[in-house]
Structure 1
C-alpha cells in the first residue's frame, strides 16, 4: 500500500524550521530536519517517521520544502504549490492519500488526483464552516461531536486518535523538574474561558515558578507594542499577571524539553468541540511525563480524572487542584507516572498504524 501523507505547519513555527534547516537546500534533508524536531509527531504515521521506501511524506504548505522538490524533479520555478503536490503524488504512484491540511487542499484538489489514488482520507479536528469535504472517502479525528457534524452532511467519518511519539520517553525520564506549572499554547481574548483560567493560575507565580509559553494573536502583539495605547487595541492586551510569567512561543523539541522541566502542565480547550476533549497538549504533556491538569469534559479512553490526570471545572478549582498537587509530591508523581504509562501503552505508534490500516479498508 503506497501511502502519501500531507501535513502542514503553523506560520509561527516556520522561523524555527528555517533556522534549524538553514544549511539544507535539498528536499530530503530539510524534511529530515523537520521530522527530527518532532513537530506534530503525534499525528505522523509510523512509516513516514521512519521514511519507509513506499511511503511519501511532505508539508504541502512549506514553500521552501516543496520548491526544493520541484527543482530536483525538473519542474519550472513558477510551478504552484498545488501543482507540486499533484506532481509528487503522481511521481510516488500514490494509492492512499492521507491529507491533514484539507482547508488548503479540499474537494476541488481531490478531483485532480491521478488515477493511481484509490482512497482519500483527511484529518480535520476543528469546525470548518461551509467547506465541502464531500469528495473525501473518509474524514477522521478524535472529537466525536465534530465527527457527528460531518456525518450529518452525509460524509463518512470515523474516530482516529493521535499517538505517543517514542522520542518523548527520554524527556519523560527527567526527574529534576524545576518549573511548577507550565502552559504552552495560544492566547487570545476571544478564548474567554481559557483566558480566565490562565489569569487565575498566573497569580500563583507569586508563590511558585509558573511559566507560560504563549503564541499571541496578532491583535495581542499589536496591543503590547508601542501603539498599544490606541483604544481599539487596549482590550487585547494581556493582564499584567500573565505577562509576568510569559515567555516566547516554543515548538518541536523545545516544547518537549519545556514539558520535561515541568511538574504540572496546565491545559485548556478552546470550545471548538463542545464537551469533547483531546487536544494535542494531552498527548504531549502525558508523553513527556508531566502531571496534566485540564478542564473537565469527555476525554479519550485512558485519560481518567483522578488517575492519569486531574480536571477542573472553574478557575478557582484549577488553582486549588494545582496547590494541592504541589503540596503532595507523592500524589503528583503518581498521576504523572500513570499518565505516561497509559499514553505510551494505549496510544503507541504501532496501534495507530494498525488502526489506520483498518480505516483504509472501510474508507
Structure 2
C-alpha cells in the first residue's frame, strides 16, 4: 500500500526552524524535509517510518511549509508558480474563494506519487472543494481530526475520518461520514535522540494558552500561585504580566527542545483543550510518560483505557486537588518515581507509533 500523509505544522515552529537553521535553505527538497523531520515536531515522520518498517510505501508532505513546497515545485518543473501570499490573504482566499496558491503544488505531488491512500492530518490548509478535486486521484481519502471543527468545513469528501476524540466518532457518523476511533502515540526513537537528564525542574507545564484553552488558562494561573512550576509554550502574552505564571513562563519550545524539558521534569502537568470535553486524548499523555516524567493530568472518563490512574499517571479534577497531589509527590519522591516508571513502561509497551501503525493498517484494509 502506498500512503501519502499531508500534514500541517504550526507557523510558530516553522518560523523558529528556518530562523535557527538558515543553512537548510541551500538544501534540496529531500535534505530539507529530512532536516525538519529530525526536529521531531508533532508526529514528524513517525507514520511513514513505521509504515515502511511494516512493508508499505509512505511519506509526509508539510502542506504549509512554503520554503519546502516551492523547492519541490522547482525540482519537479511546476510552472508557472504563483507568488506566495501573506498569511492573512491565503486564509481569506481559501475561506471565501476556495483558492490557495499552494494547491497546485499539492495536486502535482499527489499525481506524481500516486498514493493508494491520501491521509490528511487536520487542521490543514486544504478546503472541502480542493479535497473533492483530489478524490479521483486516489483510492481512499482519510482525515485525522483532533482539533476544533471549522464551521466552513463539511468533511463530506472524506471516505473516512479517524479521531482520537471518542465523542467525535458518533458526531461524524450522524453526518453520514464514516468514522473510527484512533489513538495518538509516542515516537520511541526520541529516547535515543535526547540525552536522559537528572530532573532539573520540579514541576513543568508545556502547552498552549489560547481561547481554546480557556479553562486550562484559569487552572495554570491558579496553581502557579502554589507550586514551583515552570511554564513553556505559546501564548505567554495571554497571561497577566503581573502574575506569577507570566514570570515563570519561558516562551515557546518545539520538538526535541520540548522533549528535553520533559526529560528534565520530575513532574509535568497536562490539561486537555476544552473541546475534548470529558475524554482524554492529547499527545502530551504519551510524550510525557514516554520521556519518563511523572504525569499529572486532568481526570477523564476514558483515561483508564489508556493508563491506570494513580499508578501509571496521577489525576486531578480541580485546582485544589492538583495542588494537593503535586505537593504530595514532591514530598514523596520514591512514589513519584514509581509512577513515572510505570507510566513510561505502559507507553513503551502499548502507546508507540509502531503499534499504532499496525492498528491503522487494519482500519485501512477494511475501507480501501
Answer yes or no: same fold by TM over 0.5. Answer: yes
Q: Could you state the TM-score of these two structures normalised by the residue count of structure 2?
A: 0.87
Of 70-79 and 137-146, deviating more is: 70-79
Q: Take 2:249 and 2:338, find their aligned partners in 1: how far apart are those partners?
A: 28
Deviation for aligned residue 1:152: 1.3
Alignment of 1:15-34 (within 5 A): 15-24=15-24, 25-34=27-36
Tell me: CA distance 1:6–1:18, structure 2 relative to 1, closer, same or farther (3 Å).
same
Tell me: CA distance 1:190–1:284, structure 2 relative to 1, closer, same or farther (3 Å).
closer
Q: Take 1:274 and 1:242, find their aligned partners in 2: how far apart are those partners?
A: 25
Deviation for aligned residue 1:146: 1.5
Unaligned segments of structure 1, at least 5 residues:
222-235
Q: Take 1:163 and 1:239, find their aligned partners in 2: how far apart are those partners?
A: 37
Deviation for aligned residue 1:9: 0.5
Alignment of 1:84-103 (within 5 A): 84-101=105-122, 103=124
Q: What is the CA deviation profile of residues 60-111 of structure 1, one whole-angstrom value per residue up to 9, with x for unaligned ones?
A: 0111110010000011252421110110011001110000035421431222
Q: What is the CA deviation profile of residues 27-73 of structure 1, one whole-angstrom value per residue up to 9, with x for unaligned ones?
A: 11111011111111278414378698832311001111100100000
2:272 maps to which residue? 269
Deviation for aligned residue 1:243: 1.2
Q: Take 2:47 and 2:125, find their aligned partners in 1: how far apart are those partners?
A: 20
Tell me: CA distance 1:136–1:320, structure 2 relative to 1, closer, same or farther (3 Å).
same
The reply to whether residue 304 of structure 1 matches residue 308 of structure 2 is yes
Q: Which has the higher contact order (CA 8 A, sep 6+)?
A: 1
Q: Could you state the TM-score of these two structures normalised by the residue count of structure 1?
A: 0.88
Cα pair 1:146 1:273 within 8 Å, conserved: no
Deviation for aligned residue 1:127: 3.0
2:199 maps to which residue? 177
Cα pair 1:94 1:117 within 8 Å, conserved: yes
Which of 168, 187, 203 aligns to 2:209? It is 187
Which of 205, 222, 234 aligns to 1:215? It is 234
Tell me: CA distance 1:129–1:15, structure 2 relative to 1, closer, same or farther (3 Å).
closer
- Which structure features the higher share of helix residues? 2
Deviation for aligned residue 1:196: 2.2
Which of 339, 344, 362 aligns to 2:343? It is 339
Cα pair 1:123 1:141 within 8 Å, conserved: yes
2:10 maps to which residue? 10
Number of equivalenced pairs: 344
Deviation for aligned residue 1:270: 2.1
